[in-house]
Structure 1
Amino acid sequence: MSVIQQQQRLAAAIRDGADAADLLAGDHATGLEVYRHAYRARLVAALTDNYTVLARALGDEAFDALGQAYLAARPSQHPSIRWFGHELADFMAAADDELVPHASLIDFARMDWALRGAFDAAQAPPLEPASLAALGADDWAGLVLHLQPSVQRVVLAYAIEPAWRVLREWEPESGDDQPELPEPVAHEHTLLAWRQAGETRWRSLEPLEAVLLDGVAAGLPFALLCERAAHALGDSEAAAPAVVGALQRWLADSLLQERAS
């Protein structure tokens, strides 16, 4: 067996728990088990860092059980530990009630990951109102807007935001008990997360704005955004003012980036 093959088998033994008894004996086998435990503990710690609020919602013991189950089912494949856990919400959706006692916890995972993604994303020069003011009347119909790389849109099944906020503001290190949480109510909607002036922000979207942002993400020009608004509102005359109002808020929130024509 070559050195490379030995290294690959040892890596599999550490990462996946594969058998390596023929490679190690005595104290070396014990050392491998210690290293394997440390490796798994480090990944679960990274998962806790990526899903801080979910971890608080579940509690240390339950989150550790979830993390260990996730690691066993979906070992880390990315060279950066930052991206470990990118499939956690999907894993939770298929897990049993013992690991995920309430379906709203899946939305906690989705919200945590979206905000983490917004925090780490690149930042492009923001679209300024002056750029739009310089457009001629004939330019608006074909205007295509572009979202900042940090903009994340996630469909949630529950209104978890009030409970998420309470848990985010709670400091377990202070010794205070977990605060009483608002009951998550079933309510399908879209969560918007982004970064502005170095700070991660989020808000829940009304259906019309969610539809319009979907259109922006799809590269639809302004005229087609107005058509979408007219269909959603059932009122063609109200469509353009609604899109302009949304555009003004997007500019204020720095959701859009400048693009060279």
Structure 2
Amino acid sequence: MSAGLLIEQQRRLSRAVVEDDLAEATSAGGLLRSRAGGSLLHIYRHAYRARLVAALRENHEGLPRVMGDEAFDALAQAYLSAYPSRHPSIRWFGEYLADFMQARPALALHPSLADLARMEWALRTAFDAADAVPIRAEALQALEAQAWPGLRFVLLPSVRLVTLHWAVEPLWRALKSQTVQPADGEPALPEPEPSDHCLLTWRPDLETRWRSLERLEAMLLRAVLERQPFAVLCTRAAAAVGEADAAAAVVAALQGWLAEGLIAAVQV
């Protein structure tokens, strides 16, 4: 068999297994015959999908526990058909799950679960983000006053801001505190309440952290992510709290970010 023909057969087999391509399955099926005469293609296809469903469970640990195995498996199979894995690592399988759940509410069971998926994904991606050493407050104290209007702050690579429409944090916390599925007689998991807010996740060291943000702080952090200078942060704060309190509000936010280890660098 020539190298070109071998490569083409491998491509057909990949499309038959990964993309569930019926035309390619017919072609590739003849290549995968057992001695008993049965096709092995369905075995490869089943193993491929089962491994990705398992990866989705690993990347969203709390979601299957809330939904139950049957409902989660149905969601996972539908998601896999709509979004086949495109990344070499299955660690990144599930990137679009939250949006998929929001678009397919019947599969999600409850609209808040899409936000639970968003929170879990943000925490996972924050954990896997590149390392960086947070700066200390002394780095800002040494700067001249005239430099402050143009200062730009660089956040850690792990910082994520996630817009949520449901208060899923109590549910996530309850899931983390439980080691097994709730049994009869045990307290039910808290049901999320509607709440438009922003969630912050980051990893200043070996531990991923998170907290919910008030509207002003979320607005300021978004401005920092846009690489806006200190003067612009003050202008945006003034629209929310008034010019007299704007600078103090931004400085207070900066002090909190420095204490929590969110800032990786400052650009003068």
Shorter-chain TM-score: what band? Answer: over 0.9
- What is the CA deviation profile of residues 210-255 of structure 1, one whole-angstrom value per residue up to 9, with x for unaligned ones? 000011011111111011111011x211111111111011001111
Structure-1 separation of matches of 2:6 and 2:191 = 56
Give how far 1:34 is off.
1.8
37-46 vs 16-25, greater mean Cα deviation: 16-25
- What is the CA deviation profile of residues 94-130 of structure 1, one whole-angstrom value per residue up to 9, with x for unaligned ones? 1141x11111010011001000010000122212111
Structure-2 separation of matches of 1:132 and 1:96 = 48
Do 2:155 and 2:265's aligned partners in 1 also have CA atoms closer than 8 Å? no
In structure 2, do the counterparts of structure 1 residues 28 and 212 end up closer, same or farther at CA, with 3 Å as the change threshold? Answer: farther
> In structure 2, what residue type is equivalent to 1:79?
P
In structure 2, do the counterparts of structure 1 residues 179 and 74 end up closer, same or farther at CA, with 3 Å as the change threshold? Answer: farther
Q: How does 1:247-258 map to 2 (within 5 A)?
A: 247-258=254-265
Q: How does 1:125-136 map to 2 (within 5 A)?
A: 125-136=133-144
Match for residue 9 of structure 1? 12
Match for residue 52 of structure 1? 61
Equivalent pairs counted in the alignment come to 258
Query: How does the TM-score come out when normalised to structure 2?
Result: 0.91
Do 1:141 and 1:223's aligned partners in 2 also have CA atoms closer than 8 Å? yes
Task: Please state if 1:109 is matched with 2:117.
Answer: yes
Give how far 1:2 is off.
1.1
Match for residue 237 of structure 1? 244
Structure-1 separation of matches of 2:53 and 2:159 = 27
Give how far 1:55 is off.
1.7
Gaps of 5+ in 2: none
Match for residue 51 of structure 2? 42
Do 1:170 and 1:179's aligned partners in 2 also have CA atoms closer than 8 Å? no
Do 1:70 and 1:91's aligned partners in 2 also have CA atoms closer than 8 Å? yes
Query: How does the TM-score come out when normalised to structure 1?
Result: 0.93
Structure-2 separation of matches of 1:101 and 1:202 = 26
Structure-1 separation of matches of 2:152 and 2:31 = 60
Of all paired residues, the percent bearing the same amino acid is: 54
Match for residue 157 of structure 1? 165
Structure-1 separation of matches of 2:231 and 2:260 = 22
In structure 2, do the counterparts of structure 1 residues 4 and 179 end up closer, same or farther at CA, with 3 Å as the change threshold? Answer: farther
Give how far 1:259 is off.
4.8
In structure 2, do the counterparts of structure 1 residues 179 and 116 end up closer, same or farther at CA, with 3 Å as the change threshold? Answer: farther
Local SS of the residue matching 1:43: helix
Do 1:194 and 1:201's aligned partners in 2 also have CA atoms closer than 8 Å? yes
> In structure 2, what residue type is equivalent to 1:41?
A
Give how far 1:17 is off.
2.2
Structure-2 separation of matches of 1:55 and 1:41 = 15
In structure 2, do the counterparts of structure 1 residues 244 and 96 end up closer, same or farther at CA, with 3 Å as the change threshold? Answer: closer
Q: How does 1:1-261 map to 2 (within 5 A)?
A: 2-18=5-21, 19=25, 20-26=28-34, 27=36, 29-97=38-106, 99-172=107-180, 176=183, 179-233=187-241, 235-259=242-266
Structure-2 separation of matches of 1:30 and 1:16 = 18
Structure-2 separation of matches of 1:223 and 1:199 = 32
Structure-1 separation of matches of 2:264 and 2:9 = 50
Gaps of 5+ in 1: none
Local SS of the residue matching 1:172: coil
> In structure 2, what residue type is equivalent to 1:3?
L
Structure-1 separation of matches of 2:187 and 2:175 = 8
Local SS of the residue matching 1:24: coil
Structure-1 separation of matches of 2:42 and 2:187 = 38
Give how far 1:62 is off.
1.2
Local SS of the residue matching 1:145: strand
